[in-house]
Amino acid sequence: MPGRSCFPHGRDGRSRTDCQWCPLRFVHRADREGETVSTVEVGDVRAPAWRGGFGRLWSAAVLSSFGDALRTAALPLLAVTLTDDPLLVASVTACGYLPWIVFGLLGGAVADRVDQRRAMWTVDALRGLLVAAFAVAVALGHASIGLLIVLAFALTALQTLFDNAATALLPALVDRGALGSANARLMTGQRVAGGLLGGPVVPLLLVAGTAVPFAADAVTFLAAAALVASLRTPPPERKPRPAGSTLRREIAEGLRTLVHDRALRALCTATALCNIGMGALVATLVVLVTGWLDAGNAGYAAAMTAYTVGSLAGGALGGRLVDRVGRMRAVLVAGVVQTGTLVVMGAVRSLAVLVAALAVFGFMGMVWNVNTTTLMQQRSPTGVLGRVSSAFRTLAVAGAPVGALLGGAVASVWGDNTPALLAAVFFALSVTALIPARRPDVPVVAPEDGATTVHGNR
């Protein structure tokens, strides 16, 4: 494909041209700092161009996910060498949830106040230094359960700012019409790096030393920080804060935005309900596979692989469902299908059926995640996107441990298969919560650049 024929620029820094060698149409617009935001159109489908800011953001996200997978797999292995108390080992994991509940809304408010790009690379640099220092402590034999708990809490507390800033930054790098494809590519890349590559690498790194996975994680954080720092995005345009404005009032403003938009309110409620069900399923899936199905560790590995492969397929092919039924209805379809697969998991005593059901469940889970994130980005005013994002994430994280406790209680009383059926109930409730959002009462937020066009939900 000849590069020059595909990248001419028209008036106002924006142009649309057809390449004579392929069916792609490239749309460009130049921001005030000279960075070109590009999308690619194939027929009626719009996708972000890899060159420019999106490619660097994608690379940073994938690197961070790979490093997170290394650390997440290595921490429990290190914890069990330091203590044989299950409660202390579980505390390390619990501290990965707690900061979202405590700081989630605050992180969103701060993300709306600051330059998101600068916040992201600063946070990643800090996390890289923290993990590097921890790797040194492990190498010198100074690791302890207390240090693991502090590290897990600190990293997740910083993540509350990073994730909300990343959600708010993406619309500045790609046109709103390409957000769905951009989110799909980001989530698919992260799933490949974290789900397929990161975990299997940990045993190889541990052969070289207990500290090596953490040192590698630190390198990925610092590399991701450098990539994000290299982005050239204009300073965010925000209305001056009124006199006397406080973080508390700004958080309340974000919550009001969420509550007053029927579509966002329904999506947030549905996501919270889904995550209670997911907590119940994830916490007891190993019991379902190894106990009720008597499939052993190999069966559990097959089940988790099926879920990962289904998720990747959902990221690659889920856009076709959106093209057919529209974004909001795609979320609704995903919830209905996932409810059905959960019933199958809890009712049919067959490993082959469970593996197939988890593959479908993972596919539709990716469709759900991509499109709820995209709808949130499209419908939220730019100045409050970080706070809306934080409300979504805080509710999601709060639901997971509640679901895990419910799943464990149900399994102990009624059997190892019942948490999947309990999860189906919560997913059915989430679908019910989505029904009022099929016809949103607030139009999609209009773009502010004067150059792009946003299409509402079909």
Residues 125 and 40 in one domain: no
Nearest to 37 by CA among 172, 186, 215, 192: 172
CATH number of domain containing 338 = 1.20.1250.20
Residues 156 and 129 in one domain: yes
- Is residue 298 one of the residues assigned to a domain? yes
Q: What is the C-alpha R_g of the chain?
A: 22
Nearest to 24 by CA among 39, 35, 34: 39
Which H or E element spans position 69? helix 53-82
Instruction: Look up the domain containing 393 and give its range.
Output: 247-438
Residues 331 and 420 in one domain: yes
- Is residue 203 one of the residues assigned to a domain? yes
Question: What are the CA-CA distances from residue 139 to residues 75, 77, 135 (Å)?
Answer: 14, 15, 6
pLDDT at 191: 81
- Is residue 200 one of the residues assigned to a domain? yes
Written as one letter, the residue type at 154 is A
Residues 76 and 223 in one domain: yes
Task: For residue 78, give every residue at least 6 positions away whose Cβ sits within 8 Å of its Cβ, in sequence order, or none.
Answer: 138, 143, 148, 210
- Is residue 188 one of the residues assigned to a domain? yes
Residues 9 and 123 in one domain: no
Residues 293 and 213 in one domain: no
pLDDT at 254: 77
Residues 352 and 415 in one domain: yes
Structure tokens at 320: 């076709």
- Burial category of 298 from C-beta neighbours within 10 Å (exposed 0-12, middle 13-18, buried 19 and up): exposed
- Is residue 395 one of the residues assigned to a domain? yes
**What does pTM read for this prediction?**
0.72
Residue that terminates a domain, selected from 15, 30, 48: 48
Residues 341 and 427 in one domain: yes
- Is residue 452 one of the residues assigned to a domain? no
Residues 344 and 203 in one domain: no
Angle, alpha carbons 15-17-21 (nearest 5°)? 150
Residues 399 and 346 in one domain: yes
Residues 296 and 429 in one domain: yes
Instruction: List per-residue pLDDT tens for the chain, 458 residues long.
Output: 333 333 333 333 333 333 332 333 334 444 434 444 444 443 344 667 666 678 888 888 888 888 888 887 787 778 878 877 766 766 776 676 788 888 878 888 888 788 888 888 999 999 999 999 999 999 999 988 889 889 988 988 888 888 888 888 888 788 877 888 888 888 888 888 877 777 678 778 888 888 998 999 999 999 999 999 988 776 556 555 565 667 777 788 878 888 888 888 899 899 999 999 998 898 788 889 988 999 987 888 888 889 989 999 998 898 899 989 989 999 999 999 999 999 999 999 999 999 999 999 999 999 999 999 899 888 888 778 888 888 878 877 788 888 888 888 888 889 999 999 999 999 999 999 998 876 644 444 444 433 333 333 33
- Is residue 444 one of the residues assigned to a domain? no
User: What is the total count of domains within the chain?
Assistant: 3
- Residue 244 CA to residue 396 CA, distance in Å, equals 31
330 neighbors 371 (Cβ within 8 angstroms): yes
Written as one letter, the residue type at 438 is R
Written as one letter, the residue type at 181 is S
pLDDT at 87: 66
Number of H helices and number of E strands within the chain? 16, 4
Backbone torsions φ then ψ of 25, nearest 5 degrees: -120, 130
Residues 191 and 313 in one domain: no
12: left (phi over 0), alpha (psi -120 to 50) or beta: left
State how far Cα 47 lies from the chain centre. Answer: 19
- Is residue 265 one of the residues assigned to a domain? yes
